[in-house]
């Protein structure tokens, strides 16, 4: 079986005519280094529907966090956005000035940072840090802000009395909940979660993810969820994109990616985690390391690490193509699809 070539179309999802909440279009981000620009995000397009959880996965340094920070325009030098569109509710974030961005950030899109546990100031009480963001963005009295902070803490499952605590008096999980409470403070339409549970143990991780899921159901915000833990992502997100070296290599509904991964990189990622229920097998992982983004390999950027590449010599990079309904992959036409042995866990479900 091989993949048919199809005309390159804008790989944006146009799901039943609904307006997407966030619509990222051919986004380019470069880090200016003395060796030349490092293309950290290269021609990335995806969109998130209201109330949806969208997952971005990929190994360290593939540009996941860069995209997250770009949406809020908080990337620090030497980062420069060199092209594309980020439409949020029809407004282009890349055309906003500092003043408009201040309104946009947190009120419309909030963020839970990667080292969320360290993003609390150790010498200020939790209460002050939660009320801070409310007071900064709303014209309310200190008393009202404090009441709201207490309410927020209750929402994330912490007793309001803990507002008087300092961060070091709380456990990692609690601090994480506080950070999520701060992200919820202004009722944003979307929340970016950049590896929010990486530093937590599995039990607390599960707890917090369930909490987020519940909050999402009741409050109706969308989530852009970033992680390198693909199995976690598959469970948590509705739709996901796999990134490699600044590009999206595969994009589909999460279940579809899990059961029917096509890109060799996606398969590598999925086979890097053991399956609890499937039969025992060797964890294969992906040989080699991510490419240098200043001088990336020509053609398909994954080819030096790819075991099934048929186009090693080609200088043309494969385009994201819809190979199955709603399933976009960037592979060369004619690439052999994996046989059963290469497949992760439940390979029998794969073909449909």
Partner 1 sequence: MDTVEKKLPVGSDPKRKRGARINIPRTSALYTLLGSPKARVGFVIVMLFVLAAIFAPLVAPGDPKEFVGATNQPPSAQNIMGTNPQGKDVFRQLVWGGRLSLLIGFGSGALMVLIATIVGMISGYKRGIVDDILNFIMNLFLVIPGLPLLVLLSAYLKPGTATVIFSLAFTGWAYNARIIRAQTMSLREKDFVAAAVVSGEPVLKIIFVHILPNMVNIIVGGFIGAVIYGIMASTGLAFLGLASTQDVTWGTNLFWAQNGGALMIGAWWAFVPSGLAVALVAFGLALINYGMDEITNPRLIAERDVKSVLRKAKLPRMRATPVVPHEH
Binding site for partner 1 (CB under 8 A): 28, 32, 34-35, 42-43, 69-70, 73-83, 94-98, 101, 288-289, 291-292, 295, 297-298, 303-305, 307-308, 310, 312, 336, 338-339, 342
Burial 168-196 (b: 16+ CB within 10 A, else e): eebeebbbbbbbbbbbbbbebbbbbbbbb
Question: Between residues 5 and 213, which has the closer beta carbon with respect to partner 1?
Answer: 5
Specify which residues 225 forms β-bridges with. Answer: 55, 193
Question: Between residues 171 and 307, which has the closer beta carbon with respect to partner 1?
Answer: 307
Instruction: Tell me the closest approach of the beta carbon of residue 289 to partner 1, in angstroms.
Output: 6
**With the C-alpha atoms ordered 49, 52, 245, 40, is the resulting torsion angle positive or negative?**
positive
The token pair that represents 16 in the structure block: 């039943």
The answer to whether 166 touches 111, Cβ cutoff 8 Å, is: no
Instruction: Tell me the closest approach of the beta carbon of residue 277 to partner 1, in angstroms.
Output: 26
Question: Between residues 187 and 289, which has the closer beta carbon with respect to partner 1?
Answer: 289
Three-class DSSP category at 112: strand
CA angle in degrees (0–180, nearest 5) for 191-80-99: 60
Question: Between residues 211 and 347, which has the closer beta carbon with respect to partner 1?
Answer: 347
- CA 345 to CA 275: how far, in whole Å? 6
Question: Between residues 204 and 337, which has the closer beta carbon with respect to partner 1?
Answer: 337
Residue 33: exposure state from Cβ atoms within 10 A (0-12, 13-18, ≥19): exposed
Question: Between residues 79 and 117, which has the closer beta carbon with respect to partner 1?
Answer: 79
Q: From start to end of 34-153, where are the E strands? A: 36-48, 53-57, 79-88, 91-92, 109-112
**With the C-alpha atoms ordered 247, 250, 252, 253, is the resulting torsion angle positive or negative?**
negative
Question: How many angstroms separate the Cα of 63 from the Cα of each of 11, 28, 210?
Answer: 19, 11, 26
Q: What is the DSSP letter of 255?
A: H
Question: Between residues 228 and 308, which has the closer beta carbon with respect to partner 1?
Answer: 308
């Amino acid at each position: 079986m091989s993949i048919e070539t199809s005309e390159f179309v804008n790989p944006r999802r146009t799901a039943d005519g609904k307006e997407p909440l966030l619509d990222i279009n051919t986004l380019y981000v470069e880090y200016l280094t003395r060796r030349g620009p490092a293309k950290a995000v290269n021609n990335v397009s995806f969109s998130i529907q209201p109330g949806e959880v969208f997952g971005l996965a990929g190994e360290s340094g593939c540009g996941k966090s860069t995209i997250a920070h770009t949406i809020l325009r908080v990337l620090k030098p030497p980062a420069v956005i060199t092209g594309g569109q980020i439409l949020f509710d029809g407004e282009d974030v890349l055309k906003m000035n500092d003043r408009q961005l201040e309104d946009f950030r947190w009120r419309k899109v909030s963020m839970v940072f990667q080292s969320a546990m360290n993003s609390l100031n150790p010498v200020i009480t939790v209460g002050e840090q939660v009320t801070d963001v409310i007071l900064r963005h709303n014209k309310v009295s200190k008393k009202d802000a404090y009441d709201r902070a207490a309410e927020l803490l209750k929402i994330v499952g912490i007793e309001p009395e803990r507002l008087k605590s300092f961060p070091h008096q709380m456990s990692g999980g609690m601090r994480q909940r506080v950070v999520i409470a701060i992200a919820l403070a202004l009722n944003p339409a979307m929340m970016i979660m950049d590896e929010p549970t990486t530093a937590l143990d599995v039990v607390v991780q599960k707890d917090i993810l369930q909490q987020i899921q519940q909050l999402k159901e009741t409050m109706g915000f969308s989530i852009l969820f970033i992680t390198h833990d693909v199995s976690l992502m598959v469970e948590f997100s509705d739709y996901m994109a796999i990134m490699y070296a600044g590009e999206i290599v595969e994009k589909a509904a999460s279940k579809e990616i899990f059961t029917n991964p096509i890109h060799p990189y996606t398969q590598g990622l999925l086979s890097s985690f053991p399956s609890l229920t499937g039969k025992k097998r060797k964890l294969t992982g992906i040989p080699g390391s991510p490419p240098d983004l200043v001088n990336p390999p020509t053609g398909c950027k994954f080819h030096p690490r790819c075991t099934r590449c048929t186009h090693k010599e080609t200088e043309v990079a494969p385009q994201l193509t819809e190979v199955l309904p709603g399933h976009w992959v960037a592979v060369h036409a004619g690439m052999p699809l994996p046989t059963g042995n290469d497949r992760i866990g439940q390979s029998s479900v794969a073909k449909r």
